[in-house]
Structure 1
Amino acid sequence: MDKDHYTQEFIDFRPQLVSYLYRLTTNLSGAEDLAQDTYLKVMDKLDTFEGRSSFKTWAFTIATNLLRDNQRVRKRWGADWMDKVRDAHLADTELMAAKADIVHNAPYGHFVMSEHVNYCFNCTVKTLLLDQQICLWLKEVYAFTVAEIIDITGLSEGKVKHAIADARSTLARVFTERCALINKEGVCSQCTGLNEIYNPQQDAQIEANRMKMVKQASDSSKERLLDLRLELARDMNPLLGEGRDLHKHLIENSPRWAEPQG
């Protein structure tokens, strides 16, 4: 196959690649830069591609190797960061005003509860070890097989499987303990609270009940509820949502709000 064929194939899966990089870097321009660097490296090394894996898997391998050197990717988020971000906004009228301005004036600043759940999921995944983050996204959202993830990450089969299992176990526990959408005792109700502030014409409970994980919360295991949350992540591209400007603002700035420097 010639270079034009591979160029077109890269263009076809580029949106997936950028969203993968965005979820790991939590920075859109950084993700787009990494995607461009990946493309340049792929084209430069095209004569070394032997076809032992799919071209897409090979490109994701190069992208994953590049992102491991990214400082934002290596920074593991604290388990309490979302609480700190909330508290920072409650204590600072300028932060609240900036967020309100995006909601009311940005082209894609609309508050959509399901998109905020997806944003929350991304933030929580960032609290995991990096290999757990990478393996989880690749397997559960981008549908790579374990064998392909071994190629992409360079990890052994055992380490890949453990990374996925440990990530799932941690996430299932955290969401069961914290998320008020699926547990009435949950300590985090930011989704419904923000809905009341930024989208008051939308009934929060009705909107929440549109999500399978909420409708099935009372009679599903925590593992099943995690699967439904992952299903939501698979179906929702963070680059395309009605509230993508709002959640870009939140996810890109959360590190400095949670850990202000001096």
Structure 2
Amino acid sequence: MENEEILKLAISGDINAFQTLFAEFQNQLKSYLYRLLTDRDDVDDLTHDTFIRAFTRISTFNRDSSLKTWVFKIATNLAYDHLRKLKRWQADAQDRAADLAIGSEEIREVFWMVHDTSPAGAYEMREHIDYCFTCISKTLLIENQVALILKHIYDFQVKEICLILDKTEGVIKHLLNDARNIMTDIFEQRCALINKNGVCHQCSHINEIFNPKQHQQEELMKLELVKASKKYNRDQLFTLRTLLVKAIDPLHAAGTDFHEEIMRCLRTAIGEKSDFFDRDADKVE
């Protein structure tokens, strides 16, 4: 059956038809939500809520955009409602997470356990760069973050982002420009991978733990981002970062579980949640 016929059935209230169409972009939607929310449980909840809200409102879908864009708009609004209750992350959030991990034997043991036993507990520098990109994007205002991720990571057109954020083309271009400049400034000052004066000690500490010193430089030099750092300008390096990030699904990668624990540590360090300690309390009970 062609998608047009399935769409007609979905609009008429056929939930199976809607599920078929939703499934075509569900993984990408969940990946997008994870980059905004950084919590698997929240992603699952909002994905479910998005599906329910979209299906109950499917009769209002007027085809001004693709169904995917329309559903992403619903998901973005739900994510915005969730995120506006929380504080924006500061640029030193990863440093605070590293300090917490260094000072907590309990957290380090969790890192090692996941790294050693989980099928998705590998440490790979590519994935850590993706993790860092997500963390730094969390320092942006929500609308800037959404615009940047939709455009540079998920290849939405500016006109589609206009529909998702309900903004004019001029406003979206302004949001994108500001977001890119802020991200580029932070990376230029903090990324120890491509800046010998970088102050990001989380990357270097974790790399030293899980990659023997003799292998560190070899692993780093496999990355185009690192190889190009001496000959490309900062804007070109940002573009290389986005290309690397686009190629990674943060929910289905070799180090997904490992980075979930690092993210959990970070959220605890900045006071957004206390996942490690709540989890242990639950075990005791």
Task: Please classify the TM superposition score into its range, dividing by the shorter chain length.
Answer: over 0.9
Query: What is the alpha-carbon distance in structure 2 between the residues aligned to residue 72 and residue 92 of structure 1?
Result: 30
- TM-score, normalised to structure 2, is 0.87
Q: Does 1:82 align with 2:94?
A: yes
Q: Map Cα deviations across residues 71-125 of structure 1 (whole Å, 9 max, x no partner).
A: 4774311111111111111122222112111111222111111111110111111
Segment of structure 1 superposing worse, 244-253 or 2-11? 2-11
Q: Tell me which residue corresponds to 2:9.
A: 2
CA contact under 8 A between 1:25 and 1:72: conserved in structure 2? no
Give the drift of 1:254: 1.2
**Aligned AA for 2:37?**
T
- Give yes or no for the alignment of 1:203 onto 2:210: no
- Per the alignment, residue 139 of structure 1 pairs with 151
Name the counterpart of 1:92: 104
| RMSD between superposed Cα atoms in Å | 1.9
CA shift in 2, pair 1:102/1:194, >3 Å = same
Q: Return closer, same or farther for 1:138/1:202 CA change in 2, 3 Å cut-off.
A: farther
Instruction: Pick the structure with greater CA Rg.
Output: 2
Q: Name the counterpart of 1:110.
A: 122
What amino acid is aligned across from residue 30 of structure 1 in structure 2? D
Judged with a 3 Å threshold, the aligned counterparts in structure 2 of structure 1 residues 208 and 56 are, in CA distance, closer, same or farther, namely same
CA gap of 1:217–1:261, structure 2 versus 1, over 3 A, is: closer
CA contact (8 A) 1:176 1:183 kept: yes
Q: Which has the larger displacement, 200-209 or 58-67?
A: 200-209
Please state whether the residue corresponding to 1:185 is helix, strand or coil.
coil
Match of 1:69 among 81, 98, 121: 81
Counterpart residue type for residue 52 of structure 1? D
More displaced 10-residue stretch of structure 1: 136-145 or 190-199: 190-199
CA contact (8 A) 2:107 2:265 kept: no
Instruction: State the distance in 2 between where 1:30 and 1:241 align.
Output: 19
Q: Give the Cα–Cα distance (whole angstroms) in 2 for the partners of residues 64 and 184 of structure 1.
A: 37
Between 1:89-98 and 1:127-136, the stretch displaced more is: 89-98
Is 1:221 the counterpart of 2:221 in the alignment? no
Report the AA paired with residue 171 of structure 2. K
Tell me how far apart the structure 2 counterparts of residues 189 and 201 of structure 1 sit (CA, whole Å).
16
Paired residue type of 1:223: D
> Tell me, which stretches of 5 or more residues in structure 2 are unaligned?
1-7, 11-15, 275-285
**Alpha carbons 2:115, 2:121 under 8 Å: kept:** yes
CA-to-partner distance for each residue in 1:170-203, whole Å, 9 max, x for gaps? Answer: 1111111111111111112433431221233871
2:54 aligned partner: 42
- Give CA-to-partner distance per residue, 1:203-244, whole Å, 9 cap, x none: 111111111110100010100000000111100010111110
The alignment partner of 1:69 has SS state of helix
TM-score (norm 1): 0.94
| Distance in structure 2 (CA, Å) of the matches to 1:73 and 1:218 | 41
1:153 equivalenced with 2:160 (yes/no): no
Look up the equivalent residue of 1:45 and give its one-letter code: R
How do 1:233-244 and structure 2 match up within 5 A? Answer: 233-244=245-256
In 2: Cα distance, 1:260 partner to 1:191 partner: 22
In 1, distance between residues paired with 2:22 and 2:233?
39
